[in-house]
Structure 1
Amino acid sequence: MLRYLVSMKILDENENIFSVTSCGSLLATNDFMKYYTLLMEIDLETPRHFDHMLHTGEVVFDHLYGMNYFDYVVKHWEYGDLYWKMLRAFTSAKEIVAAYDFSQFEHIVDVGGGEAELLIAILKKATHARGTLFETPKIVKKAVAAIAENDLSDRCKTISGSFFDGIPIEGDCYILKHILHDWDDEKCLQILRNIKASSKANSKLVIIDGVSDDDFTKMSDFSIWISIGGKERNLNEFKHLLNKTGFEFTRVFEPSNVQFVVIEAVSIA
C-alpha cells in the first residue's frame, strides 16, 4: 500500500523509510485546506470556462467576474479574509524566518506583504532592523493594526500603492513572497524594475515562491494560469527575470518539508 502511494507521488521512499510529499500533505486536515475549500465557490467555476481562454487568451476569472482575482477579493471582503488566512496557513512566517537570516539588514521592505505577518516575525527576530510594508490601501489598514498590536509601530511603517506604478522606498532588502507567480513575465519584469529603481547597489532581493520542479507547484500551475493569468516557474526562469532587471542571482535555500524556496539576488550597478 505504501509503495502504491509512492507511485501516486503522495509518499516518498528512501531506504524503506516513507515520508509525505508536498502533494500528499494536501490530503491532511489543516488550515490551508480549510480556507482553500471555502474559497472553492469562486475558484472552481473557472475550469468550466477554459475554452474561453483557449479561444480569446483572456483570463477566465476576469471574463466571469468582470475584474481580476485580487480586485475581487478586495471588493468582496468575505472572500478576501479567507484568501489572506489561506496564504498565512500555506507558508508560515516561522518557516521563512527559520530558512533565511534577515538579521544582516537594516531596512527591510516587504512588497505586497499582506497584513504584515512575515514582516512582524522578521522584526521580532532582527531587533535592530526597520521595516516598511508596501501594500494596497485597504490591506494597509489591517496591517497597521497588526503592527501596533505587536508593539512595532516605532520600527515598522506602511506605504500604500501599486507595485506596478512604482515602489518609492529605499531599503537594503526587498521581499517578494508569493508575488511573482501571480503574474505573467511582462508584469513580473515591471515589478522587478520598480524595485531595482528604488534599490541601492548591493541591496538584496529575497523571493519566496514555489518552483515548478515540485509536485504541488506543477499541480497549481494550471489553476493559477486560468484564475489569475500567472504561472509557476523553475529556477532558471526566475534567473532569467532577474538578469533582465539588473539583479544577479546569488543562491537558493530549499528548506525540507515545505512548499517554497528562498531565492536570493543582489542589485548590481
Structure 2
Amino acid sequence: MSRLPPVRVARAATSVRTTVQGLTRRMVPPPIGVLEMVSGLIEASTMYAVAKLGVADALAGGPRTAADVAAELGTHPDATFRLLRAAAGHGLLRQDDDRFALTSLGRPLTSDAPDSMRAVVLMIGDPRYQSVWGRLPEAVATGSAQAEAVHGVSMWELLERDQDYAATFNEAMSRLTALDWPTVEAAYDFTPFRRIVDVGGGHGRLLASMLGAAPGAEGVLLELDALLPAAEELLREAGVLSRCRLEGGLFFDRVPDDGDLYVMRRVVHDLDDEQALALLTTVRRDMPAGARLLLMESVVPPGGGPDFAKTLDLDMLLFVGGRERTAQEYAALLDRAGLTLTRIVPTISTISLVEARPAA
C-alpha cells in the first residue's frame, strides 16, 4: 500500500484547493459562474458517454484517431470525433492533431484499470439515476424520497427488479468500498478483534479487506440471501472464506450475537432517524457487552463550507429518505439506542469512523 499523507495534511491541501476554486469562481461575473456550474451536467454526461460506449477501453492501448475508435465501437465517425474532442476539453483525453489518447484523469474510466471508476460513473450517469435527481425540488417541497415517483417502486425494489441496474449499482458500491479502504486501514487498527461482523456488507469486499488487515480474526457477513452467493465467491477469491461465516437475514430483525466488532459501512445514512434508531437498537440488543460498533459514514462538518457529505445528504433524501449526520446527531442517535459514542476518527477520504460501545 502506498504511503498516505496525514489527515491534517490532506485536509489542509483540500482547504487550499477549495479556496483557489472559490477565488476562481469569484473572478468571473456571477451569471458566468452560474453558467459554468450548471454546465457540470454536460461534463458529467460526456464522461458517462466515454465510459458507457467503451471509448476509454478503446484508447487504453494508446493514441488512436476518432475514425479508428468509431470503427471498433460501431459508432458514428463524426459524432465520435465530436465526443472525443469535448472529452479532451474536459481533460479526460489529450488531442494531438487527429489522434486522441487517455490522460491520467481519463484512465480510471477504463474497465480494467486498478483504480477503475467506470462502474461509479455508469451508476451516476445512468438515466435511472439522473431522472430521480431531476425531482430535487419535489423532494425539498415534501421532504420525501422521489425514486418511487419516477420508477413506480422504491429504490430498493428497483434494485430487486432491475438486475441490469442492480449489477451496476453493486459493482459501483464495491468499487467505492475499495477506494475508501486504504484510508480506513491507515486510520483504524482491526487486529485487536477476534470476530468482525459486517452488517449489511453486500458482496463482502469490506469484510475481505478487514480480514486481510487482521489475519487472526474471523469474519461474519450478514446480508440478504440473494447476495450471499456472490459474497461467497468474492471471499473465496480473496482467500479468506475459510475464516468466514455467511448468514442470511434482515438486520432490522437480528444481528449475530458473538462479535467483537460490528461494522456498518454507509448503512445508517440510508435510513431516517426512526429507522436508524430501530437498527441500532437491534445491534445494541444482540451485541456482547464488551463489543464495539464502527459506523463508516460521512460526517457533516459545522459551518457553511463545501463538503461532500452535504451533497451526499441530498442524494440520500432523494433516493431512500435517509440523511448524512453531524457528530452531534450521531451522538444523540447512538445514545437513544443505548450506545455511547467513544470517538470519531477522520480519514483523508469522505469516510469517517464513528465508534461506539454499549452504554454502561
Which band: TM-score by shorter chain? 0.7 to 0.9
Q: CA-atom RMSD, angstroms?
A: 2.4
User: How far apart in 2 are the matches of 1:170 and 1:55?
Assistant: 44
Candidates 35, 41, 54, aligned match of 2:127: 41
Task: Please tell me whether residue 158 in structure 1 is matched to residue 246 in structure 2.
Answer: yes
Task: Map Cα deviations across residues 49-83 of structure 1 (whole Å, 9 max, x no partner).
Answer: 34554565542102322322123223322212221
Task: Please tell me whether residue 234 in structure 1 is matched to residue 326 in structure 2.
Answer: yes
Residues 216 and 8 (structure 1), Cα distance of their counterparts in 2 relative to 1, 3 Å cut: farther
1:197 is matched with which residue?
285
- How far residue 147 of structure 1 moved from its aligned partner, in angstroms, is 1.4
Contact between 2:300 and 2:324, CA under 8 Å: does it hold in 1? yes
2:150 is matched with which residue?
64
Question: Would you tell me which structure has more helix in proportion to its own residues?
Answer: 2
User: How far apart in 1 are the matches of 2:186 and 2:231?
Assistant: 22
The amino acid of 2:358's aligned partner reads S
Task: Please tell me whether residue 263 in structure 1 is matched to residue 351 in structure 2.
Answer: no
Contact between 1:94 and 1:121, CA under 8 Å: does it hold in 2? no
Segments of 5+ residues of structure 1 without an aligned counterpart are 10-25
Residues 182 and 8 (structure 1), Cα distance of their counterparts in 2 relative to 1, 3 Å cut: farther
Candidates 326, 335, 342, aligned match of 1:250: 342
Candidates 215, 218, 222, aligned match of 1:127: 215
Contact between 1:111 and 1:174, CA under 8 Å: does it hold in 2? yes
Task: Please tell me whether residue 138 in structure 1 is matched to residue 154 in structure 2.
Answer: no
- How far residue 190 of structure 1 moved from its aligned partner, in angstroms, is 0.9
Report the TM-score when normalising by structure 1: 0.84
**3-state SS of paired residue (1:154):** helix
Contact between 2:177 and 2:206, CA under 8 Å: does it hold in 1? no
User: How far apart in 2 are the matches of 1:79 and 1:265?
Assistant: 34
- How far residue 122 of structure 1 moved from its aligned partner, in angstroms, is 1.3
Task: Map Cα deviations across residues 214-265 of structure 1 (whole Å, 9 max, x no partner).
Answer: 6111112112201111111111111111111111111111122x11111111
User: How far apart in 1 are the matches of 2:288 and 2:333?
Assistant: 19
Report the TM-score when normalising by structure 2: 0.64
Candidates 21, 25, 29, aligned match of 1:5: 21
1:172 is matched with which residue?
260
**3-state SS of paired residue (2:127):** helix
Residues 6 and 188 (structure 1), Cα distance of their counterparts in 2 relative to 1, 3 Å cut: same
Task: Map Cα deviations across residues 179-218 of structure 1 (whole Å, 9 max, x no partner).
Answer: 1111100110111011111111121000101112261111
Which stretch of structure 1 is more off in the superposition, 86-95 or 185-194? 86-95
How many residues get paired?
251
Task: Please tell me whether residue 118 in structure 1 is matched to residue 118 in structure 2.
Answer: no
User: How far apart in 2 are the matches of 1:185 and 1:4?
Assistant: 37
Residues 8 and 41 (structure 1), Cα distance of their counterparts in 2 relative to 1, 3 Å cut: farther
Rg: which structure is higher? Answer: 2
User: How far apart in 2 are the matches of 1:134 and 1:77?
Assistant: 21
The runs of at least 4 aligned residues of structure 1 exceeding 6 Å deviation read: none
Greater relative CO (CA pairs within 8 A, separation 6+)? 1
**3-state SS of paired residue (1:95):** helix
The amino acid of 1:151's aligned partner reads G
